[in-house]
A and B are shown apart, each in its own frame.
Chain A
């Protein structure tokens, strides 16, 4: 029993939790609360990505826009460093994965992505690129 209680307390302490509400700037009807994560980075490409904190995560949720899979496919690059977490939205608890490339995959299938907002504010993992409008020889 003691071990169980100790484990639960430790887990609680490890989970950084934000009970404050985050309102999305693009769609004020999108409100997220209880955003939490253990911030443990899964780093599939061995890029040694640093941990982010709850302030950064809140900022990303506030500036990300709902996008389609096609938008992500066409306009974003993933980093391969990601964290898992949970939040509450419309009274439902929803899990999420955040790829540092600025993409949030919610467990209910919705995707949100932080492109220009993240890049302009120097989120160093930003990998969004403005849609090309003219031909460049060395385009990637």
Chain B
């Protein structure tokens, strides 16, 4: 289990503090999930540099060499999720009224799709987790340095150094927050990110294998 100080920073030799105040937002609620991201870049330093001023970011960043950075307090939200998919729509389990409301938003006339995605997200956030996908208010974000492959058009699988760092970090967070593997999500599967929904998917699969699930 991780030792976290009152300000939300982890005391561990394996975690390097690189505080980026710009990405810290409102106090976080009860942490119910972890969201796995990929950076779309090939090195951590460029990400750390951009988070000096950017509003969006994650609590942790795992470098190309597997080094783990904590960049935001675990007491605060980070904007890392974006526009959610409707979970019940994605798994075909919506109640009739809910399904109608969601389809009503998606087929709303004279509304661009960016706005529709916002409305769906707002609709989803009225539900409690796990009836919806996790969002900024209740999840920890982990970025892993990595690019989309030019040939396969999906994010490359993290290298072994990155995976070792990820497995250790996720094991510790799962233990600290009392989560299960079901509370671990690939960003591409829960929000409108890459076209092939691959962001975080290979990391999630690797973690499931690591845990023998």
| A residues whose Cβ falls under 8 Å from a Cβ of B | 44-45, 47-48, 68-74, 77-80, 82, 97, 99-101, 103, 105, 108-109, 119, 122-129, 131-133, 135, 137-140
Contact of A44 with B83 in the complex, beta carbons under 8 Å: no
Contact of B148 with A82 in the complex, beta carbons under 8 Å: no
Chain A neighbourhood of B112, CB < 8 A? 119, 122-127
**Across the two chains, which residue of chain B brings its CB closest to A129?**
B114
Contact of A127 with B194 in the complex, beta carbons under 8 Å: no
Q: Which of B40, B79, B150 touches A140 (beta carbons < 8 Å)? A: B79
- Other A-B pairs beyond A74-B40, A132-B79, A135-B55, 11, CB < 8 Å: A68-B40, A71-B40, A73-B39, A73-B194, A73-B199, A74-B50, A77-B117, A100-B113, A108-B150, A126-B112, A127-B114
Contact of B150 with A74 in the complex, beta carbons under 8 Å: no
If the complex has contacts A45-B85, A72-B40, are A77 and B195 also in contact, measured as CB distance less than 8 A? Answer: no
25 contacts between A and B (CB under 8 A): A45-B85, A71-B40, A73-B39, A73-B199, A74-B54, A78-B195, A79-B113, A80-B192, A80-B197, A82-B195, A97-B195, A101-B113, A105-B195, A108-B150, A109-B150, A126-B114, A127-B113, A128-B114, A129-B114, A131-B55, A139-B79, A140-B81, A140-B84, A140-B121, A140-B136
Smallest distance from the beta carbon of A84 to chain B beta carbons, Å?
Answer: 11
**Across the two chains, which residue of chain B brings its CB closest to A97?**
B195
Chain A neighbourhood of B41, CB < 8 A? 68-70
Contact of A78 with B192 in the complex, beta carbons under 8 Å: yes
| B residues whose Cβ falls under 8 Å from a Cβ of A | 25-26, 38-41, 46-47, 50, 54-56, 79, 81-85, 106-107, 111-114, 117-118, 121-122, 135-136, 147-148, 150, 153, 191-195, 197, 199
Chain B neighbourhood of A131, CB < 8 A? 54-55
Contact of A73 with B26 in the complex, beta carbons under 8 Å: no
Chain A neighbourhood of B83, CB < 8 A? 77, 127, 140
Contact of B82 with A48 in the complex, beta carbons under 8 Å: no
**Across the two chains, which residue of chain B brings its CB closest to A103?**
B195
Smallest distance from the beta carbon of A47 to chain B beta carbons, Å?
Answer: 6
Contact of B118 with A140 in the complex, beta carbons under 8 Å: yes
Contact of B114 with A69 in the complex, beta carbons under 8 Å: no
If the complex has contacts A45-B85, A74-B56, A124-B112, are A99 and B25 also in contact, measured as CB distance less than 8 A? Answer: no
The CA-CA distance from A68 to B199 in the complex, in Å, is 16
**Across the two chains, which residue of chain A brings its CB closest to B26?**
A137
Smallest distance from the beta carbon of B153 to chain A beta carbons, Å?
Answer: 7
